[in-house]
Amino acid sequence: MPVIYRDEAVVLRAQKLGEADRIVTLLTREHGQVRAVAKGVRKTMSRFGARLEPFMLIDVQLYEGRSLDTVNQVETIGAYGLAIASDYGRYTAATAMLETAERLTENDKEPALQQFLLLAGGLRTLSQDRHEAGLVLDAYLIRSLAVAGWAPSFTDCARCGQAGPHRAFSLAMGGAVCPSCRPPGSAAPHPETLQLLSSLLTGDWPSADASEARRRREASGLVAAYLQWHVERRVRSLRWVEREGDRPSIKVPTIDVAAIERAQAEVAPPLP
């Protein structure tokens, strides 16, 4: 008897498989990242093909398989795909969010509830067009890194905790640093940029929405650099695990930071 389970999920990726089937990568609420086969979805009369597109939030029933699970039933919870795909800025931001989520949750079926909630919330916010797409993307990136264990500090010193705000920002130290901890080569972003990053991390949207375009650009650059710093280190550690582990065929994804930076640039507001 195959084991059946039910979960909520965001569709991260959908790939063709043969003539009529599709392989979908899902970020589920309770089972982490799941890859599953959806049979017959590409037939015209398929009852769930359109529900298994990227950006959709679904309620899904799956049969557990040895390598891949199989989709049995799908219902739509949040049809974000259309609203997101109808606007280029939203689409680009959402695509970068899905790619980041896929890479930050790449251990199959390791529960990632906070990552799921962040992604589902970010896609819903984008689909409702409540904030500028670039801000939603950067808020998502900062928070997903924080959930992954790399919470940056934008106010107090990331090394000694001395109360901020501080002018210097160091990727290696994890954010803002006081004059005594500041390593050579630290960045010195505008104070309003650090304030904006702090607002994005804590969800202070009135303050973030009121920020100037040039502060948003500077903030995006710091977020991309921070993402690259941490994810590249993570990928290196995963490669080591792969060599020592028993799954030699595991594919270690690398995050495409250049693509994220392009996405940030494309959705950033024009300079005044």
Nearer to Zn ion, 71 or 178 (CB): 178
Residues in contact with Zn ion, shown as a per-residue x/- string from 182 to 221 under the rule CB under 5 A: ----------------------------------------
Examine residue 168 and tell whether it contacts Zn ion (CB under 5 A): no
Smallest distance, Zn ion to C-beta of residue 218, A:
22
Asked if 178 touches Zn ion (CB under 5 A), the answer is: yes
Q: Which stretch binds Zn ion (CB under 5 A): 55-63, 70-78, 155-163, 198-206?
A: 155-163
Ramachandran bin of 2, using left for φ above 0, alpha for ψ from -120 to 50, beta for the remaining angles: beta
Number of H helices, E strands in the chain: 8, 7
What are the tokens at 145? 């890194």
Using the rule CB under 5 A, give the single segment among 4-12, 122-130, 161-169, 258-266 that binds Zn ion.
161-169
Give the shortest CB-153-to-Zn ion separation in angstroms: 10
Kindly give the interhelix angle for 191-202 and 213-244, rounded to the nearest 10 degrees: 60
What would the two tokens of residue 205 be?
A: 């949207």
For Zn ion, how many residues bind (rule: CB under 5 A)?
A: 6
Q: Is 159 in the site for Zn ion (CB under 5 A)?
A: yes
Among positions 11, 24, 58, 157, the unique one binding Zn ion when judged by CB under 5 A: 157
Q: Omega into 253 within 30° of 0, i.e. cis?
A: no
Q: Which residues are CB-neighbours of 47 under 8 A, at least 6 positions away?
A: none
Task: Write the CA distances from 177 to 17, 36, 173, 190, 264, integer angstroms.
Answer: 50, 45, 7, 14, 25
Q: Applying CB under 5 A, does 123 fall inside the site for Zn ion?
A: no
What's the half-sphere exposure (Cβ side, CA atoms, 13 Å) at 220? 28
Give me the least distance between CB of 148 and Zn ion, in Å please: 24
**160 binding Zn ion? (CB under 5 A):** yes
Site residues, Zn ion (CB under 5 A): 157, 159-160, 162, 178, 181
